[in-house]
Amino acid sequence: MATVNDNYLKLKAGYLFPEIARRVNAFAEANPEAQIIRLGIGDVTEPLPEACRSAMIKAVEEMGDRASFKGYGPEQGYAWLREKIAAHDFQARGCDVDASEIFISDGSKCDCGNILDIFGDDNSIAVTDPVYPVYVDTNVMAGHTGEVNDRGEYAGLTYLPITADNNFTAAIPSQRVDLIYLCFPNNPTGATATKEHLKAWVDYAQANGSIIFFDAAYEAFITDPSLPHSIYEIEGARDCAIEFRSFSKNAGFTGTRCAFTVVPKTLTAKAKDGSEVQLWSLWNRRQSTKFNGVSYIVQRGAEAVYSEAGQAQTKALIDFYMENARIIREQLTAAGIQVYGGTNAPYVWVKTPNGLSSWEFFDKLLHTVHVVGTPGAGFGAAGEGYFRISAFNSRENVNEAMRRITEKFKL
Ligand code: MLT
């Protein structure tokens, strides 16, 4: 009989968001009259920017004409999109990133998992706690961990606690690790990193020959001009960091699918024979073999983000969600609930009131006020006692959810 990848059997019951959906669906089925407001998964709700839609419609028309029809595109993405990204997102901020170092993909969730294909199985790995579960689960699937304990921690991973005491930014570890996942603005806590904090990580990575996986999917939500948007704003990062970016949250592409990963050509890691190997070549080889690129139509839509109209429209979208975040923060604070994040990120990290555990608070909100959030414990043991509220929703739903929560939980 064929065998399975036993590593999958080590995974905790279900991926967090499907588990939440399961509980919400069961509640909805039993209570069909309940008007449920979903502030759980960070999925956008507002329509795609007009500039992106028009570009995609035009691209569809081109596909209908033999002269402009496109078949397979470059696996790395079209040069015109990569060049715009390099110029706007990196060079304009003084980052030394070339278009050829940008790989267009269908999502940073996929890239964060797929990147492990080009790394050895013997690397030591550090993640923060709480953490975006994809970083952990993909390492479990790849066989990089042992079993899970009853705190939900996998043997073999180094967990770096992020708490209110350290402003939800991990202390630099005292031991050596090979791979480090950092996410700023942070999912789930909404925390941000200063240039000094990132510089400390880059120094650590350079001193230890480590690679930082820098997830910057939420960089567009940074409002404080002193905060870095890219790890490449830090000197030396080209030699120790891979950065993941996405059009999902800034331009509403969660259903449209377009993202990109930056692998600098100067970045290397060691082969078993001790030689240094360029990671860019391996990722290029991986993508060329396992991926056929994002559709021409979607890439044209992403390119439109960088047009004048696209820039104005995506800014309006971001401002809209950040106004939701402000409402959530202010309403909960006024009700006596302690909140973090939500000023440079679309997530508000809430201390659960009355000493409730995060799943207890989840169930209570769902059952009493019909509002869905994400239990902090789902992001790791140190997330216990916290709850994530996403600002991705209509203004009407956010206002209504806050009204219901604050009426019920006023302290
Ligand atoms: C989240 O809610 O954490 C995000 O939607 C996850 C993602 O973007 O994959």
> Model pTM?
0.96
Which positions make up the binding site for pyridoxal 5'-phosphate?
72, 108-109, 132, 187, 218, 246-248, 257, 292
42 lines ligand 1 (CB under 6 A): yes
245 lines ligand 1 (CB under 6 A): no
From 132, 136, 244, 256, mutation site for ligand 1 pocket: most ligand atoms within 8 A of C-beta: 132
pLDDT of 293: 96
Contact between residue 198 and residue 205 where contact means Cβ atoms under 8 Å apart? no
Segments of the chain assigned to CATH 3.40.640.10? 52-308
The neighbouring-strand residues paired with 21 are none
Rounded CA-CA distance 403/54 in Å is: 37
Percent of the chain with pLDDT strictly greater than 70: 99
Q: How confident is the model at residue 411 (pLDDT cuts 50, 70, 90)?
A: low
* Average model confidence (pLDDT) across the chain: 96
From 39, 111, 187, 254, mutation site for ligand 1 pocket: most ligand atoms within 8 A of C-beta: 187
Q: Which CATH superfamily is domain 7-46+310-409 in?
A: Aspartate Aminotransferase, domain 1 (3.90.1150.10)
Hey, what CATH class is 52-308 in? Answer: alpha beta
Rounded CA-CA distance 133/159 in Å is: 12
Nearest CA to ligand 1 atom 9: 109
> Could you give the 3-state DSSP secondary structure of residue 196?
helix
Backbone torsions φ then ψ of 158, nearest 5 degrees: -95, 120
Torsion of CA 86, 89, 91, 92, to 10 degrees: 140
Contact between residue 369 and residue 346 where contact means Cβ atoms under 8 Å apart? no
Nearest CA to ligand 1 atom 3: 42
Alpha carbon distances (Å) from 29 to 26, 360, 365, 401: 5, 20, 17, 20
Distinct helix (H) and strand (E) counts, the chain: 11, 15
Q: Using one digit for the tens of pLDDT, what is the confidence trace for 326-371?
A: 999 999 999 999 999 999 999 999 999 999 999 999 999 999 999 9
Q: Counting Cβ atoms within 10 Å, is residue 165 exposed (0-12), middle (13-18) or buried (19+)?
A: exposed
